[in-house]
Chain A
Amino acid sequence: MSPTPAQSGQPAQPGTIVAGFLAPHPPHLVYAENPPQNEPRSEGGWEVLRWGYEQVRQRLESLAFDTIVVHSPHWKTVTGHHLLGVPRFRSLSVDPIFPNLFRYHYDLSVDVELAEAIAAEGADAGLVTELMRNPDFRVDYGTIVSCHLARPQWDRPIVGISSNRAYFSFSNEVGEQEMLALGRATRRAIERTGRRAVLLASNSLSHRHFTSEPAVPEDMTAEHPYSHNQYRWDMHVIELMRKGRCRQLLDEMPDFIEQATSECKDGSLTWLLGALGVPDYPATVHAYGTVIGTGNAVVEWLPPDPAPGVAAPGVAAPSVNAVGGAA
């Protein structure tokens, strides 16, 4: 486990977000990979998305970072934003929707100090925040899937943030403002604690599912976008990311959520864009693919002027990929 700079008082230098990723959480991708932690076995499937995650893994090998902050749609809370607040969790995660695909034995550590700092910054900004201190708590499968796919070694502590239901309790517009504020609070906490953080926004794009699955779940002949409309919206949104037009993306987000039944309604991507200061630089799209009809993109934002020491010695940056241009 890497040491965290702020563990012994004030950081020597301000922390920073070294990279942010749209890192969706279909359990199918873990199932398809057959890691030892997951009980079910598969014949593969969803390769393009998994190749995209390989690019993420390579990128993280090239970065010096000490914590992963993940915002997950599958930890749903109404009264405020909750953060994991126990140093270690070890248990079995069974997906309540796809238990046939995902029964994963996890063992993870939490950067509690950073979680507390995010909660405090959020509260200062007027948000309701709460630390989750119950050691019996089962970490949601969205958090586990995204973290596994990005960093299967589990060698960095994480900060897990719940998905507040502000979009559902009020409106898409109110939810967006809430998540942007949480993103800014996250950034301030990272800077204040001296962390070098990687951020994962664990939501898919279009999100209407098929309501049946093939007898062999990884039968790729059954996989395609739920509708042409969903696909068109996904491509539009991805194009905005590739061109660095995230302000426009946020402007259009409420429509995207409604028209494409987007999982962005759970707020993860907006939180990430808020933390990154609403990027005006191009994102790298590592992959796009559908999972049981929903649209999923693996996307990277690498802030253009990170603090010194970005590249770890002897580790090459990922190569150019076919979908998203130069990495």
Chain B
Amino acid sequence: MSAPGSVVLGLIVPGLPHPLLAPDASPHWRRIRDAYDQAAARVRQAVEQDGADLLVLYSTQWMSVIGHQVQADPQPVWTHVDPEFHALGSMSYKLRMDADYAAAYAAAARARGLSCRTVAWPGFPIDTGTVVALSLLNPDNRLPATTTSCNMYADRGETVVLAKAARDAIVQGGRRAIAVAVTSLSARMHTRPVAPADDHLSSPKDEEWNQKLLEILSEGRLEDVAQLARTVAHQAHADQKMKAIWWLSALMDQGNRLRGTVHGYGPLWGTGAALVSLAPAATEHGQHEFDEDGVERFLGDAEVLQAPTARAPGGAPGAPAMERGLGRAGPSEVPPSVHVPAPARATAPARPSSAIPTGAIHTDTAPRPVGAYPHARRVGDLLYLSGVGPRQPGTDAIPGGPIRDAQGNPLSYDIVAQTRACIENVRRILEAAGSSLDRVLDVTAFLVDMDRDFAGYNQVYGEVFASVGATRTTLAVRALPTPIAVELKVIAAAGDVDVQKLATGG
């Protein structure tokens, strides 16, 4: 049995419908179906031996624009038809989703600075990749699942942070998860029909890169593959820039400490379809110094399109589409009078005043106060929060456990979990007041055991607040009113205030 709060298995699986709908129409599709069946057996093994209790998917076929979306309908039902391969038939499904985990996943993503929401509308069009993967890996709905969209603009940083949010929720819920990247290796499909029996990789270059990637994956070197993503995307037809691999590796600790098994590989309508399982291992392959390191928090759009280095029609300066390397113009083309916009903004823009509460602020989304005080009070441009602990709204449960029992006997507790819950409560109160974590100006932290807890508290604090730049004071105190180890006192800018003007007195 694996430890709770861990990813017990990772899978890479293809999302085209052929192995589900027409496995026997082609020996190539049959091979992929057989590999899918092996992967499904591996899932059952993870349930029985490791106690796996959740499937978390990321599908390159579910595109999103407004941040990321997480599926939270407990039982989505539909008869789905693929927009391209409708002639292969229909896919009727009744899936089992874990709405609580999905909500925790989305909340953790927001806590890390991402835009993220759950979706649970009846009839929501679940993508082919998710339907195929869940139908073949989890045909009896033995495990609850959820699936995540692939944001069309997200690059590595955003995708890595998303995966870490998925992991936060796994840890928070004490789950034993199987992470599934629904993605092709190479993704170029045939542009003209081919007979199923004659299916083949649509590009020799794709085939070459697929083989390289499979060789590395078979050694369990998932992060090595993730580090290659940009190169592969330049040289071959990577599926959505290999975002799913970034996501999977970040969810599995961004290392190579894995055992890889390639269950099968072959063409699916010109794409490179591979089924690979990756299990945690005791040893790591080599000592690696990665070119691209981990990212803990999303700092907002890079606003690369605002850089004044390209031209609108007619030769006037404008903003280019630089993110994809489009339309770049040399520095000599930039006229001296071009407006240079402010650097990427970590602070959310000010909201209209009409939407912002004033005076004393109470909210049901935060733990109830233990005395006669509001959660926050607005005075002028500032929000003053009462001391915020880790207790959970509604239940008063303490993530990471209480520091003492009812008789006052000390208990073991997790300062990391308590600190995370504290910050989440701060976020809830700020959002109820129309503000946000990135508008925090000053933090006073109270710890009951500085020697024991400072490192864990400081690590979590840095994940969230390093980019915010708030001032901070940390104090050791003898006790707090409830059996908790940490409490935060926060001052933040109100949501309708321009933080930069506030800073300059403008």
Contacts and interface: CB of A to CB of B under 8 A. Distances in A.
A259 B123 contact: no
B299 interface: no
Interface in A74-97: 75-80, 82, 92, 94, 96-97
A232 B65 contact: no
A115 B269 CA distance: 25
Contacts of A259: 310-313, 320-321, 326-327
B90 A260 contact: no
A153 interface: no
A79 B193 contact: yes
B372 interface: no
A236 B313 contact: yes
B406 interface: no
B89 interface: yes
Given A212-B66, A221-B352, A78 B190 contact: yes
B457 interface: no
Contacts of A128: 191-193
Interface string A112-140: 00000000000000001010111011101
B320 A229 contact: yes
Nearest to B434: A215
A78 B191 contact: yes
Contacts of B269: 79
Contacts of A226: 305
> Which residue among B62, B64, B87, B191 has the maximum number of chain A CB atoms within 10 Å of its CB?
B191
A227 B86 contact: no
A233 B87 contact: no
Interface stretch (B45-53, B77-85, B178-186): B77-85
A211 B153 contact: yes
- The secondary-structure label for the interface of chain B is loop
B127 interface: yes
Given A79-B191, A97-B65, A128-B192, A228 B318 contact: yes
A258 B326 contact: yes
Interface in B288-344: 301, 305-306, 310-314, 316, 318-321, 326-327
B318 A258 contact: no
A96 B90 CA distance: 19
Contacts of B311: 229, 259
Interface in B56-91: 62-67, 79-81, 83-84, 86-87, 89-90
A99 B306 CA distance: 29
A interface bracket (residues with beta carbon within 8 Å of B):
35 or more
A292 B153 CA distance: 14
B386 interface: no
B112 interface: no
Contacts of B313: 232-233, 236, 252, 255-256, 259
Interface in B146-198: 149, 151, 153, 188-193
A78 B82 CA distance: 12
B119 interface: yes
B321 A138 contact: no
A103 interface: yes
A229 B305 contact: yes
14 contacts: A78-B84, A78-B190, A103-B123, A133-B87, A136-B90, A137-B86, A138-B80, A211-B301, A228-B318, A229-B311, A259-B311, A259-B313, A261-B326, A292-B65
Q: Which 6 A-B pairs have the closest CB atoms?
A: A229-B318, A232-B312, A227-B319, A229-B319, A236-B313, A134-B86
Interface of B: 62-67, 79-81, 83-84, 86-87, 89-90, 115, 119, 121-125, 127, 149, 151, 153, 188-193, 269, 301, 305-306, 310-314, 316, 318-321, 326-327, 351-352, 355
Given A96-B125, A134-B86, 15 more contacts: A79-B191, A80-B193, A96-B62, A130-B87, A136-B81, A138-B80, A140-B83, A165-B191, A170-B191, A208-B305, A211-B66, A211-B301, A212-B67, A229-B311, A252-B313
Interface of A: 75-80, 82, 92, 94, 96-99, 103, 128, 130, 132-134, 136-138, 140, 162, 165-166, 169-170, 208-213, 215, 219, 221, 226-230, 232-233, 236, 252, 255-256, 258-261, 292
